């Protein structure tokens, strides 16, 4: 039974050999002919262009020779009229010449039609000084090179070197090279026709024989494979029940297996428990990509400390279908292969590491809070010492300014006295400002009560701006504060919120130092979400921004993009921890200006809005 189909396939292939050979031969001849014709045409075009160029150059050289002869005659015979000089030059060189006055009037020509041709060629204007080649039958005997040169008194001498189109020998500009190319093309086509059997028919016949033999071997191999498949199916059915019981016995690892099209065929009970989809809705109906795409959606509630739980290598963040809870999974993917190493599908095993990762984050946050407490204690001691050392000289300066101001009253009034009184008043203002900054520094080091309270967002922002404003002015950074003075109040710790703001502003300042920005700008605004009872304090800049790969782990402890010695990687981690302790959230995104946009989301307290805008320019 196996011999009949093999013979049939062989006969079919042999019947189609003649037609295939003819098509291949025609295409081959067509390609050779097109290539040869294109090459020959290119040679002809090049030969025509080169001949035309050489002819033009030779004619122009002859024209310049005539002009040069005329100039030499004029130099040797200064008293002789230029018309006679032109006539002598024409006689010596056997060229057509014409002489024109400065206003364009013809003074002399060797041929009566030359002036008419010049008017036609130069469109009734004085012939332009320079060279041009006009080889055309319409010019008659004056076809050729026209060379114009300036003579004394503004006169112009025209020399015409005649050259007729027929002088080119233009029999379609056929050249010896083109003729040889055509002969070679004909010989090549003849050789192809004579060797067609040797070059095409015999190789095709051998190819058909090889295909027939390969087809016979494939049929025999397929029959053996079918017999082996029947035996393997019987054995596989005996293992299926055991495999299902083994997969469902896993209480810690979810297992998903696919076929070669990545359609899910294995889905154990742990996978159904974690992902929230039953096996009936998944097996044989979805691929792994479709299943994970369905689980990549907004959760009903985000994980605590979500920003610090960024997925690491082989981690995936998904949302369970049934509960809507966000889960962090650790995945391991491997290829399912047969005994020969051929891929049959994929096996994906995963474990729910959400709780373990949350414990790690909690431990890190507790460690950071201890570090922050130690830093704040040291800062408080330093701030107290600095305040004590600075308050005494500031008080003395204030007393001296007051005494001088009182003394000035005895001098009456005058331009000098008014000037000194104005400067003393400004000095008192600067002393008060310095005292306020010292008080803010002391409060930063000893913030006192750590409890939450309803606060106006504008007050801590103004305190931080007063503390850092001079630094930003010295760097040319513009600060814009657009906050509702009597707007909604937030639930937070004011001192800790100031600490977060200082860290964000210092980071923005350092980012401007590391990049070239024409007009550095930082804008602080507040947005109110009445539906969710949230208040967003936004720090927006037009600096270099935060790359996507950095924003994914920017709140992780000890992660920093600054050079060694300039940053510890703890500032944003501590700020994140503090904001979370308020019941808020800290996130980063790309600003519409191209820079970074940090959003501090805080719970809302009771409020009453009335808008005002403050602007601090550098």
> In angstroms, rounded to a whole number, what is the distance separating the alpha carbons of residues 416 and 424?
12
Query: What digits encode the pLDDT tens for the residues 78-106?
Result: 888 888 888 888 888 888 898 888 888 88
Please report, for the chain, the start and end positions of each structural domain, with discontinuous segments joined by +: 1-221, 250-352, 354-446, 450-618
Residue 526: half-sphere exposure toward Cβ, Cα within 13 Å: 29
Instruction: Tell me the DSSP string of 543-582.
Output: SS---HHHHTTTTSTT---SPTTT--S-HHHHHHHHHHHT
> In angstroms, rounded to a whole number, what is the distance separating the alpha carbons of residues 423 and 601?
44
CB atoms near residue 32 (< 10 Å): 14
* Mean local confidence (pLDDT), 299-307: 62
> In angstroms, rounded to a whole number, what is the distance separating the alpha carbons of residues 576 and 586?
6
pTM (2 d.p.): 0.39
User: What is the helix (H) or strand (E) element at residue 48, kind and residue range?
Assistant: helix 17-76
CATH among 1.10.10.60, 1.10.287.130, 3.90.1150.10, 3.40.640.10 for 354-446: 1.10.287.130
Beta strands in 66-175 (DSSP E): 96-100, 106-109, 130-134, 144-150, 156-162
Answer whether 273's CB lies under 8 Å from 369's CB. Answer: no
Share above pLDDT 90 across residues of the chain, in percent, rounded to a whole number? 6
> In angstroms, rounded to a whole number, what is the distance separating the alpha carbons of residues 555 and 571?
9
Domain 250-352 has CATH 1.10.357.10: no
Which pLDDT band holds residue 40 (cuts at 50, 70, 90)? low
Sign of the Cα pseudo-torsion (119, 124, 130, 131, in order): negative
Query: Any bridge partners for residue 146, and if so which?
Result: 132, 160
Query: What digits encode the pLDDT tens for the residues 562-583?
Result: 765 566 666 787 788 788 888 8
Q: Token pair of 518, please?
A: 């024409």
Rounded to 5 degrees, φ, ψ at 306 are -60, -40
> In angstroms, rounded to a whole number, what is the distance separating the alpha carbons of residues 615 and 274?
52
Query: What digits encode the pLDDT tens for the residues 530-539?
Result: 888 999 999 9
Answer whether 507's CB lies under 8 Å from 514's CB. Answer: no
CA-CA distances (angstroms) from residue 537 to 77, 272, 504, 506, 580?
98, 41, 11, 16, 14
Asked if residue 59 has pLDDT above 80, the reply is yes
Given the DSSP bridges, would you call strands 478-482 and 521-529 parallel, antiparallel or unpaired?
parallel
Instruction: Give the per-residue pLDDT at 205.
Output: 65
Edge-to-edge strands of the sheet including 254-258?
A: 264-267, 254-258, 343-352, 326-337, 315-319
**How high does pLDDT run on average in the chain?**
77
Cβ neighbors of 290 (< 8 A, separation 6 or more) are none
* Mean local confidence (pLDDT), 385-405: 74
Answer whether 324's CB lies under 8 Å from 349's CB. Answer: no
Instruction: Give the per-residue pLDDT at 170.
Output: 47
Answer whether 142's CB lies under 8 Å from 16's CB. Answer: no
3-class secondary structure, 333? strand
Asked if residue 13 has pLDDT above 70, the reply is no
Query: What digits encode the pLDDT tens for the residues 329-377?
Result: 878 888 888 878 888 888 888 877 777 777 777 777 677 666 666 665 6
Query: What digits encode the pLDDT tens for the residues 120-131?
Result: 888 878 888 888
Residues in the chain: 618
Of 134, 574, 106, 157, nearest to 368 (Cα)? 574
> In angstroms, rounded to a whole number, what is the distance separating the alpha carbons of residues 46 and 34?
18
Q: What angle do CA 67, 73, 79 make, to 5 degrees?
A: 125
Cβ neighbors of 568 (< 8 A, separation 6 or more) are 558, 560
DSSP secondary structure letter of residue 259: -
Instruction: Give the per-residue pLDDT at 1.
Output: 42
Rounded to 5 degrees, φ, ψ at 268 are -80, 175
> In angstroms, rounded to a whole number, what is the distance separating the alpha carbons of residues 73 and 417?
96
Which pLDDT band holds residue 608 (cuts at 50, 70, 90)? very low
Fold of 450-618: Heat Shock Protein 90 (3.30.565)
Query: What digits encode the pLDDT tens for the residues 225-272?
Result: 888 888 888 877 767 666 666 666 666 788 888 888 888 888 887 777
> In angstroms, rounded to a whole number, what is the distance separating the alpha carbons of residues 489 and 528?
10
Instruction: Give the per-residue pLDDT at 600.
Output: 94
Cβ neighbors of 487 (< 8 A, separation 6 or more) are 456, 457, 458, 526, 528, 607, 609, 610, 611
Cβ neighbors of 394 (< 8 A, separation 6 or more) are 431, 434, 435, 438
- Pick the more confident residue, 415 or 490: 490
């Amino acid at each position: 039974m196996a011999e009949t189909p093999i013979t049939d396939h062989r006969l079919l292939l042999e019947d189609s050999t003649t037609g295939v050979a003819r098509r291949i031969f025609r295409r081959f001849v067509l390609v050779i002919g097109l290539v040869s014709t294109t090459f020959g045409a290119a040679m002809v075009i090049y030969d025509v262009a080169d001949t035309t160029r050489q002819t033009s150059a030779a004619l122009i050289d002859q024209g310049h020779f005539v002009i040069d002869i005329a100039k030499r005659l004029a130099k040797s015979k200064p008293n002789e009229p230029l018309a006679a000089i032109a006539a002598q030059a024409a006689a010596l060189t056997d060229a057509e010449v014409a002489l024109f006055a400065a206003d364009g009037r013809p003074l002399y020509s060797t041929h009566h039609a030359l002036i008419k041709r010049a008017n036609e060629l130069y469109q009734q204007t004085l012939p332009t000084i320079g060279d041009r080649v006009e080889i055309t039958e319409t010019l008659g005997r004056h076809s050729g090179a026209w060379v114009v040169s300036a003579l004394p008194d503004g006169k112009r001498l025209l020399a015409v070197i005649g050259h007729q189109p027929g002088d080119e020998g233009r029999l379609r500009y056929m050249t010896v090279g083109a003729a040889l190319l055509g002969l070679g093309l004909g010989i090549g086509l003849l050789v192809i026709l004579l060797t067609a059997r040797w070059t095409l028919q015999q190789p095709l016949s051998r190819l058909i024989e090889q295909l027939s033999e390969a087809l016979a071997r494939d049929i025999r191999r397929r029959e053996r494979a079918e017999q082996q498949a029947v035996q393997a199916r019987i054995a596989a059915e005996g293992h299926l029940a055991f495999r299902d019981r083994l997969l469902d016995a896993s209480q810690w690892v979810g297992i998903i297996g696919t076929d070669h099209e990545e359609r899910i065929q294995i889905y154990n009970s742990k996978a159904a428990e974690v992902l929230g989809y039953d096996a009936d809705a998944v097996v044989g109906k979805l691929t792994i990509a479709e299943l994970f795409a369905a689980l990549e959606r907004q959760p009903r509630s985000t994980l605590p400390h979500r920003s610090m739980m960024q997925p690491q290598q082989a981690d995936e963040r998904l949302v369970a279908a049934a509960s809507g809870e966000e889960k962090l999974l650790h995945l391991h993917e491997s290829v399912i292969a047969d005994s020969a190493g051929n891929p049959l599908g994929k096996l994906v095993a995963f474990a729910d590491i959400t709780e373990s990762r949350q414990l790690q984050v909690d431990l890190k946050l507790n460690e950071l809070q201890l570090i922050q407490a130690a830093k704040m204690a040291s800062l408080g001691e330093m701030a107290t010492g600095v305040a004590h050392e600075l308050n005494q000289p500031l008080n003395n300066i204030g007393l001296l300014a007051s005494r001088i101001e009182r003394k000035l009253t005895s001098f009456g009034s005058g331009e000098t006295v008014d000037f000194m009184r104005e400067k003393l008043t400004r000095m008192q203002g600067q002393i008060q400002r310095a005292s306020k900054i010292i008080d803010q520094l002391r409060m930063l080091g000893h913030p006192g009560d750590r409890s939450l309270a309803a606060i106006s967002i504008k007050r801590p922002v103004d305190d931080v701006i007063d503390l850092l404003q001079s630094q930003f002015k010295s760097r040319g950074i513009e600060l814009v504060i657009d906050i509702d003075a009597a707007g909604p109040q937030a639930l937070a710790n004011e001192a800790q919120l100031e600490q977060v703001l200082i860290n964000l502003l210092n980071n923005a300042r350092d980012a401007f130092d590391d990049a070239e920005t024409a007009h550095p700008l930082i804008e602080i605004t507040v947005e109110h979400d009445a539906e969710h009872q949230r208040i967003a304090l936004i720090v927006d800049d037009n600096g270099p921004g935060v790359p996507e790969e950095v924003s994914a782990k920017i709140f992780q402890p000890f992660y920093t993009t600054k050079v060694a010695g300039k940053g510890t990687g703890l500032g944003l981690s501590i700020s994140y921890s503090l904001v979370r302790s308020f019941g808020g959230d800290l996130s980063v995104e790309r600003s519409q200006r191209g820079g970074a946009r940090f959003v501090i989301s805080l719970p809302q307290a009771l409020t009453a809005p009335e808008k005002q805008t403050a602007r601090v320019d550098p």
